[in-house]
Structure 1
Amino acid sequence: MNISVVIPLLNEQESITELHDWIAKVMQSNRFSYEIIFIDDGSTDDSWATIMALSQKDENVKGIRFLKNFGKSQALHAGFAKAEGDVIITMDADLQDNPEEIPELYNMIVVDKYDLVSGWKKKRYDSVISKNMPSKLFNWAARRTSGVKLNDFNCGLKAYNNNVVKNIDVNGEMHRYIPVLAKNAGFTKIGEKVVQHQARKYGETKFGMDRFINGFLDLITIWFLSRFGKRPMHLFGALGVIMFAIGFVFAMYLGIDKLFLNQTGRLITERPQFYIALTTMILGSQFFVAGFLGELILRSKSDSSRYLIKQELNF
């Protein structure tokens, strides 16, 4: 199979049929063999009924329905697990991503041998204050912390070699930073393509202040995991040694001063250096223990289900 199109969605019943027809037209005109995987992330409207109707008319349509809303990252993870195409295309269901971009994205993966190609919505139709400015800030911070030189990390329209999606773990809210996850996994040929962005035709944007805040928290998380995720002792152990050493130096100073230099008979517990030494040594010990616990957890962790699938179609 040439292409798997993975589409996570939440309450997009008005756009699903139009999007399907558009994708099918592009695929058929280019003679691609394909599948379209819709992942209903706990919609409360008739999105699933629409997907079921499409699957009965078109055997290329497949569906996954979550028991409740688990988030876009979990939806992509489920879609990636089921995808069978040589190239996987992800796109949003709100018609803001243009399916006409698919053939060129496919060629960049197959012909130009990119591992991943990310869309760049250079010209946007979103609100400048509520979405454009936060997006620019995200992208700047992500470039600086990850070393991946993309202009638009958060664009839903992306193309992947099948090996990429089968070997990265998209969890939490990390869908924004899939290119960083791919780089950390060893897939370094990452490209970018300017894509056409379209104004939202139906419904309302899911972007809000909570996603703005969560995005930055996720960026900090992925930076930490990239640097220390497989060796927590390198961070916590180093901090522990430094803190303990500072405390030990203060303690030595107090001991020497008490035995040889102190002429006033002042108690050690009356001096502020005593509390600095005590606090830093305790913190150092705790950091060191945290590093050991991190190593133990890392070596003993087992994968657990992050979402529950209620229903599947055509798999």
Structure 2
Amino acid sequence: MDISLVVPLLNEEESLQELHDWIAKVMQSNRFSYEILFVDDGSQDNSWEKISEMASKNSAVKGIRFQKNYGKSQALNAAFKEAEGKVVITMDADLQDSPDEIPELYKLVSEDGFDLVSGWKKKRYDSKIRKNLPSKLFNAAARRTSGLKLHDFNCGLKAYKNEVVKSVDVYGEMHRYIPVLAKNAGFSNIGEKVVLHQARKYGTTKFGMDRFINGFLDLITINFLTKFGKRPMHLFGLLGTMVFILGFIASLYIGITKLIKLYNQEPTILITDNPWFYIALTCMILGSQLFLAGFLGELILRSKRNPQRYSIREKLNM
């Protein structure tokens, strides 16, 4: 199979038929063998009924229905596990991503050898205050911390080699950082393509300002996991040891100073009346806790993989 097209959605019944017909037209005109994986992320409208209707008429249409809304990352993760195409392409269901981009994205991966190609919506039709400005700040931070020179990390239109989507674990809000996850998994040939962005035709956006806060938090998580995910002891153990040694040296200094003054019969105060004693004691306690955190992290890492973070209600044509 040439292409697996993954479409996560939430309450998009108005656009689904039009999107399906557009995709089918592009696929047939280019003679691609394909499948369309619609993932219903807990829709409250008739989206699943629309998917079922399309699946009954087109065997290439497949569906995954969640028990409730788990988020875009979980929807992508579920579809990635099922995808069979040589190239996997993701796009949103709101018709803001153009299926006409599919042939060029497919060529960049299948012929030009890219592991991943990320879309860049250079000209956007979103609100400048609600989405454009926060997106620019978000992308600038992501570029600086990840080392990937992509302009639009959050673009839903991306193309991957099949082995890339099988190698990444997408959860939380980390769908924005799949290029970073792919890079960390050893897929370094990552490209970018300017894609057409269309104004929303039906409904309203599902994303609010809180997604940027969550996005920045996930960016911190990814950077931590990149550097210390496999060896948490290298961070917590090192910090814990340094803080403990600092506290121990301070305690030792306080104790020796006290003994010297007693030996020389000089006036002195009780150690427990010295505020530096409590600072030193706190350092030793914190150091011990940090060291134990690193040790526990190592134990957890060796004994447990990430659990599935969603529940599938039903599937179609699978």
Mean Cα displacement is larger for which, 78-87 or 265-274? Answer: 265-274
* Superposition deviation, residue 273 in structure 1: 1.1
- 1:261 to partner: Cα distance: 4.0
Q: How does 1:64-143 map to 2 (within 5 A)?
A: 64-143=64-143
The answer for the alignment partner of 2:25 in structure 1 is 25
Asked if residue 264 in structure 1 is aligned to residue 306 in structure 2, the reply is no
Q: Which residue of 2 aligns with 1:152?
A: 152
Q: Which residue number corresponds to residue 162 of structure 1?
A: 162
Is residue 120–residue 152 contact of structure 2 (8 Å, CA) maintained in 1?
yes
Figure out how many residues of one structure are paired with residues of the other and give that number. 315
* SS in structure 1 of the partner of residue 257 of structure 2: helix
Q: Alpha-carbon deviation of 1:102?
A: 0.6
Amino acid at match of 1:218: D
In the other structure, the counterpart of 2:304 is: 301
Point out 4+ residue stretches in structure 1 off by more than 4 angstroms.
none
Other structure's SS at 2:75 match: helix
1:107-141 per-residue CA deviation (whole Å, 9 max, x = no partner) reads: 10011100000000000000011001111111111
> Who is 2:313 aligned against?
310
Under a length normalisation based on structure 1, what TM-score does the superposition of the two structures give?
Answer: 0.98
Residue ranges of structure 1 left out of the alignment (5+ in a row): none
SS at 1:26's partner residue? helix
- The CA distance in 1 between the partners of 2:306 and 2:252, in whole Å, is 47
Counterpart amino acid of 1:43? S
Q: Map residues 199-218 of structure 1 onto 2, 5 A cutoff.
A: 199-218=199-218
Amino acid at match of 1:292: F
Letter in 2 for 1:83: A
Give the corresponding residue for 2:237.
237
- Residue pair 2:261, 2:268 contacting (<8 A) in 1 also: no
Q: Is the 8 A contact 2:261 2:267 kept in 1?
A: no
Amino acid at match of 2:196: Q
Task: Out of 299-308 and 94-103, give the one that drifted further.
Answer: 299-308
**Aligned residues: percent identity?**
72
Please tell me whether the aligned partners of residues 240 and 286 of structure 1 are also in contact (alpha carbons under 8 angstroms).
Answer: yes
Q: Which moved more, 1:304-313 or 1:278-287?
A: 304-313
TM-score (ref. length: structure 2): 0.97
- Compare 208-217 and 282-291 and name the one that shifted more: 208-217
